[in-house]
Structure formats: C-alpha cells, structure tokens
Chains A and B, each alone.
Chain A
Amino acid sequence: MTDLTRLTLTEARALLKARKLSSKDLTEAFLSAMAAARTLNAYVLETPDKARAMAAASDARLAKGEGGPLEGIPLGIKDLFCTEGTRTTASSRILGGFVPQYESTVTSQLWRDGAVMLGKLNNDEFAMGSSNETSAFGPVKSPWKSRGSNADLVPGGSSGGSSAAVAADLCLGATATDTGGSIRQPAAFTATVGIKPTYGRCSRWGIVAFASSLDQAGPIAKTVADCAALLTSMSGHDPKDTTSADIAVPDFEKAVGRSVKGMKIGIPKEYRVDGMSAEIGALWEKGAAWLKEAGCELVDVSLPHTKYALPAYYIVAPAEASSNLARYDGVRYGLRVPGKDIVDLYEKTRAEGFGREVRRRIMIGTYVLSAGYYDAYYLRAQKIRTLIKRDFEQVYASGVDAILTPATPSAAFGIGEKGSADPVEMYLNDIFTVTVNMAGLPGIAVPGGLDGQGLPLGLQLIGRPFDEETLFSLGGVIEKAAGSFQPQRWW
C-alpha cells in the first residue's frame, strides 16, 4: 500500500466514502508518522486514544453509508483551541495544566462533521510570534531545509506547529489562527495553503484570545480545495460570539476550479518595499502572469497607508492583549506562584508564567492604554486603522475583485536568527499580512515556487469582505500553475 499520509484531504475523503480505505488505517498511519517525527516538535500533545476512538466511530458511520463531510479525516488542532477534556495551553507555562471543560465552537463543528483529532499543535506562546520560537514547548523545526545545509529553519508562526505538521504529512489538515499573519506566513514558509477568512466568519468562542478585534481562525492544508473543505466546516454563525457574522456559509469547495475570466486583480505598488528580495519580486510577477493567462485583468492600485499598518498593529494588538491576558491571575486556572499577599501572588505568577515576548507585549499594551497616553497611541492607531480599511474600500469600489501580493518579504530563516536584539526585526515578517487583519478582510496564502536555496515562497490574495470564494477560485489558478512542493524527509 502506498503511504497514506501523502494523500490530500479530498483524496482521502473520496477513498473513505468509497470504503476503499478505513479511517482506522488512515489514522494509524498518521499516528506512526507523528511518532517518527517528534524531532520536529510540531505536536505538543498527541491524543492517540481519542484519535482511535473517533476513527472507529467514523468507520461505523461510514459502514452504514452515513457520515459528515469530513468523516474519518485526521486533523491536528492548534493548541489555542479549547478541547474539552484535552489539555490546552496556548503553548504557555501559565496554562500548563489547563484542561478545558468545554469545546471551542470551531473544533466542535469539525467533530460534528466527522473529523478525527490526532493531537494538539505547537504555536508561539499566546500566538505572539512569527517563528514559533516563543513557545514554552520550544521551537518547531521546519520540515524544509536550505539546499546543501543542515541548519534548522523556522516553520513560521504563530501557527508553526500547524504548518510544519501539514508540510511533513503529520495530519491531513490543521486548524490555525491569524491575528497579524499567523496562518498565511507559516503557510508561505512551508509550501502549504492557509486562509484567514473575513473577521466574523469563524466563531472565536473557545479560542484562547490574543487581540479580539483581529483574531480569526482558519485552516492550513495541503491544497486549496482541502482548505476550502475545512473552512466550510469551521465557519458559521455562533450566538456565543457576538462578533460572529450571521450570514450564510457557501460550500467553499465549489469555488475551486470556477472560471476567473474577467476578474480584475489589483497590484498594490506600496507592497514593493525596500529590501525585498529579487526572487520575491520575480515570484510576484509570475503570479500576476498566471492570473492574466487565466483571463484576469491586472490593474495597478494604491493602498497609501500600507506602511502604517504594522506600527499601528503594534499598538492595537498589544493593547487588546494586555486586557485579554489580565485574566491569568493565578486564581481561577493555570499556574500559581505563592506570594506574601494577593498582589505579590499576581506579579510572581505572571512573571513566571508568561514568556519574554508575552511579557513585553503586555507591558507595551499597558503603557499605550495608560492615563495620559491613550489618545497619543491607542486612539491614533484606531484612526489609522480606519484609513487602512478605507484604502481597501476605495480599491474594491473601483471594481477590483482581489489584490495580489507576496505573502512574506523573505523565505524561512534559521532558528535563533532573528529578533534577539531588536524585537522589531521579527515583527517585520508580517508586513504584507498585517494590513488584512487591520481591515478585517479575507486573505489566502498559496505556494508560488521555491527560491534559489530550494525554500518555499508564497503568494497572497486579499479579497472583499465575505468573498472567500473568489480567493479559492484565484488560489486554485495559482496552485495549478505553480504546482505543489514537498520537503525531503530528513527526520
């Protein structure tokens, strides 16, 4: 039998449905692959008992000709999604032993549709990072390596466990979250596909909060169609999240393969930044040419406030984080470090429980919200956010259907290479993705090719609010033209 872990989600689904493959065999193949790939550190918790039980239940349903749209499909779950009875840590010491008493809405919908949980995936602590190096469980190693080098590379972040697990065939797809690029940047670094849907498309209920006005869940998977299948299950209105959008969820998979003829694609000049590698520039042009060949019309557009998105983000996101993370007090759940009084208990618990990057962001957030600084920082950043969103609205009002950009300013870098002296060096990774969160728009990252070192580079498509379908159609065109890319197995 061929290696089952190499199947795509949609291929496996067809085999399961036709009863040519059992979820049991498929799940066992992944559990073995996970055990053999522990050096990657993609999973922070493997749940083989749960996986086997869920697979058996799926096989029973499939035998009766029943089953949901993801029946028997083994998935990895980012450790930011609360899973009832299964430890959920956000990869932080402060949630070290936390066992949720409830299930996040997104994961509950995946289980409703028949998916099987393989385990919980590593991520940057509280999703704060772009390389998965801030995790309390240690960094994830990318399955990719530069040609002729043995150095360990980052898989991107914060959803680095998700991207590495998908790229290394340790699951058929993974959940992820994206606050400033945490789905799209890791997807670009690993030649996987990742979509951040429109703000409000997926319920945030039961997902450990980072910055609530920016956070969105989405999938990382091997193909555009696989992502579409997962997002269809993950999406939908949830009364438990007041920011969840009460609009119908289309079958996103039907959009893959749909004609893109006549679509107008915006090419924003502000994304041609100083210091961008020539290879990224060339890839961007290649992407535009592929879309043109498929019948799209390319137009130059301007998003004048682009360069202010990242600095504004580093006010808004830490501000919201400082408020959201106030709940970790050593009293109700998680780590507790005893103190001489209650304030001492709080301060010691939070000093020991949070890692360096999280402490830094909480402090920045606390500062920009503190008396006397709120107007100068927070209020100004929220006004600039209005301007960023307006830039996009004007482009879409001119008839543009989607915007094409590179996903990242560079390919993956080495573990320990960036941000140790200046945190801003790491933040610059999100320069092309963060605008999308600031404006609440959907964005998809699709593999575009490999650079001279043999490392993946991704393209990003940005869509109109709640028009993920156009992104899946266009993403499908790029995928078809670019092909797919797998790392050499060295682990």
Chain B
Amino acid sequence: MSVDQATVRRIAHLARIAVPESEVAKLQGELNAILGFVEQLNEVDVAGVEPMTSVVPMTMKMRQDVVTDGGIAARVTANAPAADDSYFLVPKVVE
C-alpha cells in the first residue's frame, strides 16, 4: 500500500501536525519508503495467531480505590506555557 498526497495531508491533520505544502511531496516519499519496507509482513501466514497484548505474562494488579495524591495544583501547572489561578489557559474554544 502507498499513500497519495491527499492522504499525507489527512494524516498530518489527524496527527495535529501542520505540514506546509512544500513538504508534502517529500513526506509522501518517506512515508511510502517505510510502508514499502513493512509490506513484506504480508508474506507471513498469521491465520489462527493471537495478537500480542502483553509481552511478559502478568496478572493485572488490583489497588485500593483510595486517594493517594492531590492538592498540588501549583506543581501540576508549573510547566504550563499559560496558566492562571491553577487553570491551564487555551484560546477560546466555545463561542
């Protein structure tokens, strides 16, 4: 399978990465090189094979349903590019 330029633009938008028009063709070539490389996986017979879900078998551990952390809003927002009064600030999203 390979991607066309419209698909490159669509993936870029899905991934929330702005791609200037001048870069679309180059990116298309790179993505198709990778997709061409993984094509060989189609040679493998995977009928009846379970997809891997956990690389090391382990039982999911249960934990107490209790509050273990919190009350550190200032530290949570310490690295925010824009914060005010323990809130993250974003451009207006609701009119």
Contacts and interface: CB of A to CB of B under 8 A. Distances in A.
Given A242-B60, A465-B56, A380 B17 contact: no
A53 B35 CA distance: 51
Contacts of B27: 360, 363
Contacts of A373: 1
Contact of B41 (A239, A312, A335, A465): A312
A137 B37 CA distance: 30
B34 A381 contact: no
Contact of A348 (B18, B35, B72, B82): B18
Contact of B38 (A245, A311, A329, A422): A311
A385 B52 contact: yes
Given A311-B37, A423-B30, A440-B56, A359 B17 contact: yes
A211 B19 CA distance: 24
B: contact size bracket: 35 or more
Contacts of A326: 16
A47 interface: no
Interface in A312-371: 312, 314-315, 322, 326, 329-336, 338-343, 345-348, 350-351, 354, 359-360, 362-367, 370
Given A315-B38, A366-B11, A370-B11, A331 B46 contact: no
B81 A335 contact: yes
Interface string B1-35: 10100011001111111110000000100110111
A315 B38 CA distance: 8
A200 interface: yes
Q: Is the interface of A mostly helix, strand, loop or mixed?
A: helix
A350 B46 contact: no
Interface in B58-80: 58, 60-61, 63, 72, 75-80
Contacts of B63: 239
Interface string A418-454: 0000111001000000000011100000000000000
A144 interface: no
B15 A363 contact: yes
Nearest to A329: B16
Contacts of B44: 305, 308, 380, 384, 387
A45 interface: no
Q: What 10 A-B pairs are tightest by C-beta distance, nearest first?
A: A440-B55, A382-B51, A336-B81, A333-B79, A351-B18, A347-B18, A383-B46, A366-B15, A346-B16, A311-B38
